[in-house]
Amino acid sequence: MIEIRNLSKSFIDKNGRVDALKNINLQIEKGDIYGIIGLSGAGKSTLIRCINRLEEPSAGSVLIDDKDIMKLNNEEILKIRRRIGMIFQSFNLLSRRDCSQNVAFPLEVSNYSKEEIKARVNELLGLVGLEDKRHSYPSQLSGGQKQRVAIARALAAKSDILLCDEATSALDPSTTKSILALLKEINKVFGITIILITHQMEVIKEICNKVAVISEGEIVEQGTTFELFSKPSHAVTKRFLSDKSLEGTLSYTPQNSGAELYKLTFLEESAHKPVISQMVKRMDIEVNIIAGHLSSVQGKSYGNLVIEVSGESKIVAEALEYLRENKVFVEVLADYERVE
Ligand SMILES: Nc1ncnc2c1ncn2[C@@H]1O[C@H](COP(=O)(O)OP(=O)(O)O)[C@@H](O)[C@H]1O
Ligand SMILES: [Mg+2]
In terms of DSSP H, where are the helices of 52-113?
74-83, 99-109
Do 202 and 286 fall within a single domain? no
Do 112 and 222 fall within a single domain? yes
In this prediction, residue 301 has a pLDDT band, given cuts at 50, 70 and 90, of confident
Ligand 1 closest atom vs CA 214: 22
Question: Which ligand number lies closest to the CA of residue 165?
Answer: 2
Q: What is the CATH number of the domain that holds 101?
A: 3.40.50.300
Count of structural domains, the chain: 2
Ligand 1 closest atom vs CA 38: 22
Question: Which ligand number lies closest to the CA of residue 36?
Answer: 1
In this prediction, residue 60 has a pLDDT band, given cuts at 50, 70 and 90, of very high
Domain end residue (candidates: 184, 203, 231)? 231
Domain that holds residue 129: 2-231
Testing ligand 1's pocket by substitution, the residue of 10, 15, 45, 195 carrying the most ligand atoms inside 8 A of its CB is: 45
Ligand 1 closest atom vs CA 166: 21
The confidence score (pLDDT) of residue 169 equals 93
Q: Are 43 and 4 in contact (CB under 8 A)?
A: no
Distance from Cα 89 to the centre of ligand 2, integer Å = 9
Do 188 and 322 fall within a single domain? no
The confidence score (pLDDT) of residue 244 equals 54
The confidence score (pLDDT) of residue 290 equals 87
Distance from Cα 9 to the centre of ligand 1, integer Å = 10
Do 102 and 138 fall within a single domain? yes
Do 52 and 175 fall within a single domain? yes
Choose the weakest-confidence range: 130-139, 177-186, 223-232, 289-298: 289-298
With H, G, I as helix, E, B as strand and everything else as coil, classify residue 89: coil
Ligand 1 closest atom vs CA 46: 17
Domain assignment present for residue 150? The answer is: yes
Do 93 and 170 fall within a single domain? yes
Mean pLDDT of 272-279: 85
Q: What is the CATH number of the domain that holds 282?
A: 3.30.70.260
Do 45 and 78 fall within a single domain? yes
Testing ligand 1's pocket by substitution, the residue of 46, 195, 216 carrying the most ligand atoms inside 8 A of its CB is: 46
Mean pLDDT of 172-196: 96
Domain end residue (candidates: 202, 231, 260)? 231
Backbone CA torsion sign across 114, 120, 124, 125: positive
Distance from Cα 214 to the centre of ligand 1, integer Å = 13
Distance from Cα 42 to the centre of ligand 2, integer Å = 8
Which of 22-26, 68-72, 311-315 has the largest mean confidence?
22-26
- In this structure, the residue with its CA closest to atom 26 of ligand 1 is 41
- Give the whole-angstrom CA distance, residue 161 versus residue 173: 25
Do 215 and 267 fall within a single domain? no
DSSP code of residue 112 = -
Do 204 and 275 fall within a single domain? no
Tell me which residues have their CB closer than 6 angstroms to ligand 1: 11, 13, 18, 20, 38, 40-46
Mean pLDDT of 140-161: 96
Mean pLDDT of 187-212: 95
Do 72 and 101 fall within a single domain? yes
- Give the whole-angstrom CA distance, residue 254 versus residue 260: 9
Q: What is the mean pLDDT of the chain?
A: 91
Whether the per-residue pLDDT at 340 is higher than 90: the answer is no
Domain end residue (candidates: 183, 199, 231)? 231
- In this structure, the residue with its CA closest to atom 8 of ligand 1 is 46
Q: What b/e readout covers 198-233, taking b as 16+ CB neighbours within 10 angstroms?
A: bebbebbbbbbbbbbbbbebbbbbbbebbbbbbebe
In this prediction, residue 248 has a pLDDT band, given cuts at 50, 70 and 90, of low
- Give the whole-angstrom CA distance, residue 138 versus residue 42: 31
pLDDT above 70: percentage of residues in the chain = 97
Q: Which residue has the higher pLDDT, 238 or 121?
A: 121
The confidence score (pLDDT) of residue 302 equals 87
In this prediction, residue 190 has a pLDDT band, given cuts at 50, 70 and 90, of very high
Domain assignment present for residue 199? The answer is: yes
Distance from Cα 197 to the centre of ligand 2, integer Å = 8
Distance from Cα 91 to the centre of ligand 1, integer Å = 19
The confidence score (pLDDT) of residue 321 equals 94
Domain assignment present for residue 193? The answer is: yes
The confidence score (pLDDT) of residue 296 equals 85
Domain assignment present for residue 240? The answer is: no
In this prediction, residue 273 has a pLDDT band, given cuts at 50, 70 and 90, of confident
Do 209 and 300 fall within a single domain? no
Ligand 1 closest atom vs CA 39: 22
